[in-house]
Structure 1
Amino acid sequence: MTLQLDTASALALTPGTTSLAPGVGANTETPCSGLFDHEGRQHIRTALERAARPDYPAWLGHVESAAACTRPIRLHGNLATVDTRTGELLTVRHTSTLPDGVIYKACGNRRHTVCPACATTYQHDAYHLVRAGLVGGKTIPETVRTHPAVFATLTAPSFGPVHTRDVRHCACRDKTRCTCRPAPCHARRDAPSCPHGRPLACWQRHAVGDEQLGRPLCPDCYDHNHHVVWNHHAGELWRRTKQHAERHLNQLARQRGLPRVRLSHGKAAEYQARGAVHFHILLRLDGIDPGQPEVITPPPTGITVDDITAAVTLAATTITYTTPAHPDQPGGWPIAWGHQHEIRPITLSASGDALDDQAVAAYLAKYSTKGTEATGHTSRRLTADTIDLYANPTGTHPERLIAAAWNLGHTPEWRGLRRWAHMLGFGGHFLTKARRYSITFGSIREQRAAYKRAHALNRGQPRPEGHPETARFQRQAVLDTKTEETTLVIGFLTYAGTGWHTTGDQLLANTAAAQARERTRAGREELAHQQACSSSTPLAA
């Protein structure tokens, strides 16, 4: 297992100031003096100094909840304990009595390039959220296993020729490490040139990870404005597509004398190397109970997976609309899907062209932790002070896209393009779902918090099975109204900073978290081995 550690200090460039540039600042930690002066590496020296303190075990337990985070949030203030039955204020405690005088909270960022630990937690939550909508569990009825479902991939249209890696028949399971021989990028016998004198042919067979992939053959011919506008309106295009597919299925239901149906979806967005967003969508067919419209009901048996595939294909190839007028484009821009799309059925056990539920859940969970890093660009939200660091109308492909989004967003009606210029115009969530498809992230996090509270209360007093009892998984609406606990801890906390105090603290916390993960992994492997041995048939003597 590789330990991912950010060894740069999270402090500002100079004490008491804030760095305007994205990322972490330079190392401004207070030099240690004493027993560890001989150690030249500062992060080792500060780690030794922390570990030598008598309160080190208490500090390590205090930061346990955020130990794996690369940039935890530090909070300070008062913690009040209230009796929920009488409203009596039992105790008030200030964070100054805690190690470091603050509470550490994991940042919760979903992107692997920002915080691998928090992104892994988000990815696991996304996996269980998506899979619960396919196989049931966690308040979702297990009858959803029988619902017809498909997995669709819808892409953006072309805004100009770009360098591609075209593998006609790929046999690799991991497409990111494909070793198949690709076809020439843009093979043209006539070898034409664009109006700017650049050739529109490319005979290279690009390898995986080639920096040219996704870059236009002619940057000046590429329609960067249309590109960022399409990204900005991709969410509305999907809404209209799903609405059209659902209407088509209900027309089929009426013709066949069947009751109404609806499509419930889970959707993940992913950036292509050229910077265009494409969607990976899970669509499940549900029935509708007029008396209980909120209940997930099995659909009628007269509509099949082939009907869903035909409905989605029809919607993806016919739905198009035009954006409102812009001073640079009075007629607006056409918004439609590209010609490349794929729709495959989902089954509990994959066979043929079908996908199984675990693969689909893993796909969507993996895509939900990605961002613009596939395009070669990563930044936080841009402002007038930082836009010049990333935008250039005559620069690289990502720089031109950012410049196009910023320039088009100068009018009030298109201001959203400036807000999402760092995302190349796309302002939607990377993982979305229909309200009735599955559980919510909030309910999963609340269940995890309840388990941790139960685990902390029973620490030192294990139950016969060795695990504390936890409440049954419930929907978020039920969890919001629960008042079973007799005491309630209310925090009056304010922001104190981001990141660890020293790189040594980060080294120790991340190492302890990595060891805990390794122990958990080893325990799971041992349990799986014991279950396999107990279920296997003994050999004959």
Structure 2
Amino acid sequence: MTLQLDTASALALTPGTASPVPGVGASTESLPHDPFRHEVRQHVRTALERATRPHYTAWLSHIESAAACTQPVRLHGNLATVDLRTGEILTVRHTSTLPDGVVYKACGNRRHTVCPACASTYQHDAYHLIRAGLVGGKTVPDTVRTHPAVFATLTAPSFGSVHTRDVRHCACRDKTRCTCRPTPCHARRDNPTCPHGTPLACWQRHPPGDEQLGRPLCPDCYDYAHHVVWNHHAGELWRRTKQHAERQLNQLARRRGLPRIRLAHGKAAEYQARGAVHFHILLRLDGYDPGMPEVILPPPHGITTDDIITAVTLAATTITYTTPAHPDQHGGWHITWGEQLEVRPITLSASGDALDDQAVAAYLAKYSTKGTEATGHTSRRLTTDTIGLYANPTGTHPERLIATAWKLGHPPEWRGLRRWAHMLGFGGHFLTKARRYSITFGAIREERAAYRRVHALNDRHPGIEGHPGATRFQRQPDLDTKTEETTLVIGFLTYAGTGWHTTGDQLLANTAAAQARERTRAGREELAHQQACSSSTPLAA
């Protein structure tokens, strides 16, 4: 018997790194009559077995939406098609009739260390969300281009001396790959020691990526309690800071006889190597009408970017508050910003000290997919069964932070510290925005879903000689998904598992997704080339 193998292009790539989720990618299929038993590599053997099945092409089409995901969620149950006009259930289909008997859904995780594909999608969405608030589009009025805007960086205070890499004059365009010569870490002429006998001087010039960066010179002197509490209350500190800056600008507007204003923001949180969060914040000045609070209005001309910088700087240097009492700290902890503060203007074409709108959007989007990786710690939410694996009061710097958060979270009113111990106390979202700054992630996902539905409908209605029709997708607002759709598919689904059935399935799915991305990239380059050629002026003969 001759086997026809459809594997000419499906094995172009190799599997990526192992998924952090336990059990993902483990083989769950039994092959009693395996014609590829001579192949010692399990992922290749299971991939060949899958590719020889009769409905392999249908399987590839079925898993397309989750093909690039490293840990897709498998769901099983019923899928009901409902008529939106009458509410009548037209058909009911069980997932047992689908390939593998389940529906594959991408995990949607935002962290690159967990799922690079889903994190890339999240990062692209974040970029468009942030940039739309600067230049308009996607239901945001184009007039926001003229609104004054600034980019601020707010950091945490010092909780103790840590190893640092200080480059006074960096000339590298990519700061993450800086090769400039840093200054000594902590140069001290007197070479003092702490009460525990640890030297408080360090003459090393730490290279990028040094494991010592962010680690305390003396862990016993470091204020771990204040550190995790500050992380936990950083969001409240930012809320008060923005409120104070907005109040200062409104007072300035009244003195100048101008109408009220409003600050809209987009904010990304980033972990420093020492484990403290700091915020990168985009602030845009808008007008405000109490009668139309949902409308984004142009601000009055009497308030400039310099006024915003002054108000934000004043708020960041003066706002402070004290946390509620704790059994280990009856007077509470003092919460304030650190001394490192930077506020710069944003323009559509960067010049001087100003920042470009694209650079700001890309900067915030990049940090929206990161987590605690910079500190050397990664884990999921901790429980009483798993806390011992990551917490140690006398261990490494991250282990001490986790142990402190768990210990301080014992009182009921401080339980949030235990809930977010795996995030070193910080429980906020990594990318947040004001309600009226821009669109939402949900709106972007709905538009993507509408785009995919239209393409799926085009694929189902063949044109001449069996080829799909030439109907093109019309972007918003030309396409009204609410009026065009006449049926709705409702899923009554339950969780069936996480990950691919076999490593071979993961190989084939990721390979297909990689080839689709390559085709998309090549198509974009070809369109850009054609556009450049059509707009160029022909040379004179």
| TM-score category of the 2 structures, normalised to the smaller one | over 0.9
By how many angstroms is 1:540 displaced? 2.0
Aligned partner (choices 472, 487, 494) of residue 467 of structure 1: 472
Whole-angstrom distance in 1 between the partners of 2:146 and 2:506? 48
Q: TM-score, normalised by structure 1?
A: 0.94
- Write the letter of the residue equivalent to 2:449: A
Whole-angstrom distance in 1 between the partners of 2:166 and 2:14? 33
- Write the letter of the residue equivalent to 2:473: P
Q: Secondary structure at the match of 2:321?
A: strand
Task: Report matched runs for 1:83-98 at 5 Å.
Answer: 83-98=83-98
Whole-angstrom distance in 1 between the partners of 2:276 and 2:22? 25
Q: Secondary structure at the match of 1:373?
A: helix
Report the counterpart of residue 376 of structure 1 in structure 2.
376
Report the counterpart of residue 137 of structure 1 in structure 2.
137
Q: Secondary structure at the match of 1:311?
A: helix
Whole-angstrom distance in 1 between the partners of 2:82 and 2:37? 48
1:63-109 CA deviation, whole Å, 9 max, x = no partner? Answer: 00000000000000011111111222211110000000000000000
Whole-angstrom distance in 1 between the partners of 2:111 and 2:208? 22
By how many angstroms is 1:466 displaced? 6.2
Task: Report matched runs for 1:71-150 at 5 Å.
Answer: 71-150=71-150
Report the counterpart of residue 260 of structure 1 in structure 2.
260
Q: Secondary structure at the match of 1:458?
A: helix
Change (3 A) 1:456 1:341: same
Change (3 A) 1:4 1:239: farther
- Contact 1:150 1:284 (8 Å CA) reproduced: yes
By how many angstroms is 1:384 displaced? 0.1
- Write the letter of the residue equivalent to 2:57: P
Change (3 A) 1:45 1:112: same
Report the counterpart of residue 539 of structure 1 in structure 2.
539
Report the counterpart of residue 430 of structure 2 in structure 1.
430
By how many angstroms is 1:469 displaced? 3.0
By how many angstroms is 1:3 displaced? 6.7
Q: Check if 1:210 corresponds to 2:219.
A: no
Question: Alignment identity in percent?
Answer: 83
Whole-angstrom distance in 2 between the partners of 1:426 and 1:9? 25
Change (3 A) 1:266 1:198: same
Runs (5+) with no aligned partner, structure 1: 11-21
Whole-angstrom distance in 2 between the partners of 1:471 and 1:207? 49
Q: Check if 1:352 corresponds to 2:352.
A: yes
Whole-angstrom distance in 2 between the partners of 1:504 and 1:291? 60
- Contact 1:130 1:266 (8 Å CA) reproduced: yes
Report the counterpart of residue 62 of structure 1 in structure 2.
62
- Contact 1:122 1:369 (8 Å CA) reproduced: yes
Report the counterpart of residue 241 of structure 2 in structure 1.
241
- Contact 1:72 1:105 (8 Å CA) reproduced: yes
Whole-angstrom distance in 1 between the partners of 2:34 and 2:162? 60
Change (3 A) 1:228 1:9: closer
Change (3 A) 1:505 1:26: closer
Q: Secondary structure at the match of 1:137?
A: coil
Q: TM-score, normalised by structure 2?
A: 0.94
- Write the letter of the residue equivalent to 1:467: R
Report the counterpart of residue 6 of structure 2 in structure 1.
none
- Residue range with higher mean Cα deviation, 307-316 or 454-463: 454-463
- Residue range with higher mean Cα deviation, 30-39 or 47-56: 30-39
- Residue range with higher mean Cα deviation, 56-65 or 527-536: 527-536
CA-atom RMSD in angstroms: 1.8
- Contact 2:152 2:344 (8 Å CA) reproduced: yes
Report the counterpart of residue 17 of structure 1 in structure 2.
none
Q: How many residues align?
A: 524
Whole-angstrom distance in 2 between the partners of 1:447 and 1:105? 18
Change (3 A) 1:351 1:3: farther
Task: Report matched runs for 1:133-212 at 5 Å.
Answer: 133-212=133-212
1:450-498 CA deviation, whole Å, 9 max, x = no partner? Answer: 1100111112458987633344289xxx97xx35421111111110000
- Contact 1:82 1:91 (8 Å CA) reproduced: yes
- Contact 1:454 1:470 (8 Å CA) reproduced: no
Q: Secondary structure at the match of 2:494?
A: strand
By how many angstroms is 1:519 displaced? 0.5
Change (3 A) 1:27 1:468: closer
Whole-angstrom distance in 1 between the partners of 2:527 and 2:223? 56
- Write the letter of the residue equivalent to 2:174: D
Whole-angstrom distance in 2 between the partners of 1:288 and 1:351? 29
- Contact 1:447 1:473 (8 Å CA) reproduced: no
- Contact 1:263 1:286 (8 Å CA) reproduced: yes
Whole-angstrom distance in 2 between the partners of 1:493 and 1:63? 17
Whole-angstrom distance in 1 between the partners of 2:448 and 2:316? 39
Report the counterpart of residue 301 of structure 1 in structure 2.
301
Q: Secondary structure at the match of 1:104?
A: strand
- Contact 2:64 2:509 (8 Å CA) reproduced: yes
Report the counterpart of residue 456 of structure 2 in structure 1.
456
By how many angstroms is 1:291 displaced? 2.8
Runs (5+) with no aligned partner, structure 2: 1-11
Whole-angstrom distance in 2 between the partners of 1:94 and 1:455? 24
- Contact 2:25 2:500 (8 Å CA) reproduced: no
By how many angstroms is 1:436 displaced? 0.4
Whole-angstrom distance in 2 between the partners of 1:197 and 1:321? 34
Report the counterpart of residue 292 of structure 1 in structure 2.
292
By how many angstroms is 1:363 displaced? 0.4
Change (3 A) 1:449 1:199: same
- Write the letter of the residue equivalent to 1:233: H
Whole-angstrom distance in 2 between the partners of 1:144 and 1:338? 31
Change (3 A) 1:27 1:94: closer
- Residue range with higher mean Cα deviation, 423-432 or 524-533: 524-533
Task: Report matched runs for 1:258-407 at 5 Å.
Answer: 258-407=258-407
- Write the letter of the residue equivalent to 2:399: E
Whole-angstrom distance in 2 between the partners of 1:222 and 1:501? 47
By how many angstroms is 1:289 displaced? 2.2
- Contact 2:344 2:355 (8 Å CA) reproduced: yes
1:376-396 CA deviation, whole Å, 9 max, x = no partner? Answer: 000000000000000000000
- Residue range with higher mean Cα deviation, 81-90 or 494-503: 81-90
Q: Secondary structure at the match of 2:404?
A: helix
By how many angstroms is 1:293 displaced? 1.8
- Write the letter of the residue equivalent to 2:294: E
Whole-angstrom distance in 2 between the partners of 1:333 and 1:24? 42
